[in-house]
Structure 1
């Protein structure tokens, strides 16, 4: 079947260059798109199997569902995420445009700046620092197993609020992530291709260990979590889990065009991403529940931090291998969801001064300067900050999908989208601010956060991404009848 995606010409690309757009913002011609089904299949594997996701499953186990129902809820979540990512990725794969231009097609040239800044700079840079710190904790355990004296370096000396071993581990892990960021999508493709089989081997082995340690799969599936809440409707718990998983993917899902612009075809990214999430979460759903419960049974204490379970093993080689894979999955998550989108967005905000690599460097330096280990000292403030950013991105995603499918009908005018910076653009359809899109986004944000202030509406905030997405989607299509763009 012939590829129906837009085939941009070299003449068009040269015209856009002359209008002041750098290479990072230009549409990718089909001849330079190198990501096929297999590349997308391996792309998100590492992002699924990361430390925070395992910790989240520990929280899900306290919501009152049985272990088998947690697994089923995670699989339903994977289906929802795959649908979201492939639908929102279609503009990128059809036209080869990055997230910054996809956002512009929805909100307008001026309107795209705020949601782009929130996703690509604030959320991405903050998450990049926090993921680096989380990964450095695993690196610290790893180094401590190989070189125990390392953990005593500097004694009780604290530097910028962190111990010397902690700062060294953070810096090493930060440098590795920065280097992967410099390599961009090409290096990431090779990285994830190596990582995927390791995930199957290591997490499969950990699941087998957990089943053996617990005395069989039956003991795990019948495990009753002490302290679990049983006064919430099981159906609503399913929605809470699906919402939580969607929220995890809110940022990369909003900016997925940065990856689908490299797709050989829309069919490739659709099949590849769908398979990636269904297979990746299938493995994750089983392994996460089995490992956490199996470890808890084995050590006689409910332990929902997977790093602590691994650290209790008496086999140093197994600890080293498991920690290495956790480190690699964190690097994959950081590259795909944080540093690459941040670099592209900084390039979009300052196209004449910042290219992709300068964006990587600037975002990385800022992520170090915010001292994420200090941010994590106050769990409540971090939760509020990240929850607010996530609540914004649900409405943004709802507005983007409503606009592309029901307003633009999957058709983007690239000549107008890449407007001439010096020309009179008063009649350009993408000029200025798309008011109904902005109003719908803000209205949906207020709705999905309302439960934090009005107890009777708490149910809305408990599924804030879903409520924000649906509210923005519906409000935008209705408001277009009352505004003139």
Structure 2
């Protein structure tokens, strides 16, 4: 079997595919449940997520409802991450190649670029900027004079200290991206104990300041109790899950390293559940408790840390926030972007080429403009969730229902210009279904009748695409493996 797999890899290499895109050798599929348990912890506790929790209070839901909605979100996220990563585990193949099975060799480029190019690069830049704000606080606590460097210097909205902090933090993120999953796993193993200390400690701090009952009763000034709490409860779940729309699409980039489906399923499920239980309790207690204590609604965890008198506590908390941002950026953004860009021209580009290209683009888009107001972040999340949700629906329907978990790798790793299946390399059914699902999930942005659907855009996109694809796609789909046909 090993000899056959090696011959298979040599064949694909001869067709021009770089080693980064080839199926993983069995000896390199070493990740166990613990690796996946630690992987996602840092991706949950980051600055934009805490800002999002603050926004949930505006909906008028109770504190307990927000906590419960966040925790329930973890079940949906874990399910999609595990199931959409199943093909990666079975075949050891990254997302960029798995996507070809459902959309076609040429057709996979559009949803692939949407995830690995647009969503990943924009989020990478956004997280770099959010992290640079934390980095500025860290430097300002140690060297206050740094914050006044450059005087009136300003370039595209950034002063000199802000520019230096952004470029330095951006460079660290790029370096982690070059290291890939191996470096990231070692990084998260160190990070996770610190996350429990900092965010668990901040929650205890907030409760000790004002007590648990005022936190449970907290309502921001000017906000009334929600009338349609059931629907808004679902809106909160959708918002949390939508944050994972992009990582869920490309789950195979990480599950290709798994020893078995059981290992990645157990590790991801437990990791996400534990992470979100801590996040739900800590996030709500920290935001509500600090707002009550300081007498003003405080939604950004960085604003809270900046007000602390203890230099050590501020330094350690900001350092951990920086590390969680790096972890988030690597797992959800720069690593998928590197693989996807490499897949655009597999005979010319490698994973590291893809990381470099994505990193440069993330600078050029001026990501700090995206964080100028909260509405722009939520609009971005809604659009990405609404567009990538249907892709997840199509991928899962194709793999589990149409293909019955069988993929012909030789068809995926076709020679350049040789499109063996679908219409000239495009799965027209997949594109049609995706378009219909996107219109339904995002149509509310433009058509008032669809407005409720757009507020739960991720769920609408996934469910619509899954059902339509199963109904429209014939069982004898091209590209199915010869073994499956015989069966």
TM score, norm. by length of structure 2: 0.94
Structure 2 residue 116 is the aligned partner of structure 1 residue 123:
no
Structure 2 residue 173 is the aligned partner of structure 1 residue 180:
no
Instruction: Provide the C-alpha distance between the structure 1 equivalents of 2:69 and 2:255, rounded to a whole number of angstroms.
Output: 27
Match of 1:402 among 397, 404, 407: 397
Instruction: Provide the C-alpha distance between the structure 2 equivalents of 1:151 and 1:441, rounded to a whole number of angstroms.
Output: 48
- Corresponding residue of 1:38: 34
Compute the displacement of 1:459 (Å).
0.7
Match of 2:445 among 434, 449, 452: 452
Where in structure 1 are there 5+ consecutive unaligned residues?
none
SS in 2 for 1:110: coil
Tell me if structure 2 keeps the 8 A contact 1:64–1:228: yes
Tell me if structure 1 keeps the 8 A contact 2:81–2:268: yes
Distance 1:331 1:98, change over 3 A: same
- Corresponding residue of 2:80: 84
Tell me if structure 1 keeps the 8 A contact 2:73–2:237: yes
Tell me if structure 1 keeps the 8 A contact 2:105–2:419: no
Instruction: Provide the C-alpha distance between the structure 2 equivalents of 1:157 and 1:183, rounded to a whole number of angstroms.
Output: 35
Compute the displacement of 1:125 (Å).
0.8
- Corresponding residue of 2:16: 20
- Corresponding residue of 1:266: 261
Deviations 1:209-237 (A, max 9, x none): 111111x2222122233333434422112
Give the alignment of 1:298-317 within 5 angstroms.
298-317=293-312
- Corresponding residue of 1:366: 361
Q: How many residues align?
A: 478
Distance 1:206 1:363, change over 3 A: same
Instruction: Provide the C-alpha distance between the structure 1 equivalents of 2:2 and 2:461, rounded to a whole number of angstroms.
Output: 32
Distance 1:482 1:180, change over 3 A: closer
Deviations 1:343-398 (A, max 9, x none): 00010001122101111111111111222123444665565455323211011111
Instruction: Provide the C-alpha distance between the structure 2 equivalents of 1:352 and 1:290, rounded to a whole number of angstroms.
Output: 51
- Corresponding residue of 2:344: 349
- Corresponding residue of 1:472: 465
Tell me if structure 1 keeps the 8 A contact 2:386–2:442: yes
SS in 2 for 1:420: coil
- Corresponding residue of 1:337: 332
Give the alignment of 1:69-218 within 5 angstroms.
69-214=65-210, 216-218=211-213
Deviations 1:268-310 (A, max 9, x none): 1000000110000011111001111111121111211111111
- Corresponding residue of 1:249: 244
- Corresponding residue of 1:437: 430
SS in 2 for 1:159: coil
- Corresponding residue of 1:63: 59
SS in 2 for 1:20: coil
Tell me if structure 2 keeps the 8 A contact 1:210–1:294: yes
Instruction: Provide the C-alpha distance between the structure 1 equivalents of 2:156 and 2:348, rounded to a whole number of angstroms.
Output: 31
Instruction: Provide the C-alpha distance between the structure 1 equivalents of 2:376 and 2:274, rounded to a whole number of angstroms.
Output: 34
Tell me if structure 1 keeps the 8 A contact 2:59–2:232: yes
Tell me if structure 2 keeps the 8 A contact 1:58–1:305: yes
Instruction: Provide the C-alpha distance between the structure 1 equivalents of 2:253 and 2:434, rounded to a whole number of angstroms.
Output: 22
Instruction: Provide the C-alpha distance between the structure 2 equivalents of 1:40 and 1:80, rounded to a whole number of angstroms.
Output: 17
SS in 2 for 1:162: coil
Where in structure 2 are there 5+ consecutive unaligned residues?
479-487
Instruction: Provide the C-alpha distance between the structure 1 equivalents of 2:102 and 2:32, rounded to a whole number of angstroms.
Output: 27
> Is the deviation greater in 231-240 or in 187-196?
231-240
Instruction: Provide the C-alpha distance between the structure 2 equivalents of 1:231 and 1:223, rounded to a whole number of angstroms.
Output: 14
Deviations 1:37-68 (A, max 9, x none): 11000000000000111111111122222111
Instruction: Provide the C-alpha distance between the structure 1 equivalents of 2:378 and 2:220, rounded to a whole number of angstroms.
Output: 24
Tell me if structure 1 keeps the 8 A contact 2:57–2:219: no
> Is the deviation greater in 22-31 or in 380-389?
380-389
Tell me if structure 2 keeps the 8 A contact 1:343–1:363: yes
Instruction: Provide the C-alpha distance between the structure 2 equivalents of 1:30 and 1:378, rounded to a whole number of angstroms.
Output: 47
> Is the deviation greater in 77-86 or in 156-165?
156-165
> Is the deviation greater in 138-147 or in 378-387?
378-387
Tell me if structure 1 keeps the 8 A contact 2:402–2:477: no
Structure 2 residue 221 is the aligned partner of structure 1 residue 226:
yes
Q: CA RMSD in A?
A: 2.0
> Is the deviation greater in 387-396 or in 183-192?
387-396
Tell me if structure 2 keeps the 8 A contact 1:416–1:430: no
> Is the deviation greater in 95-104 or in 5-14?
5-14
SS in 1 for 2:406: coil
Deviations 1:232-283 (A, max 9, x none): 4221122101111110000000001000001111111000000110000011
- Corresponding residue of 1:47: 43
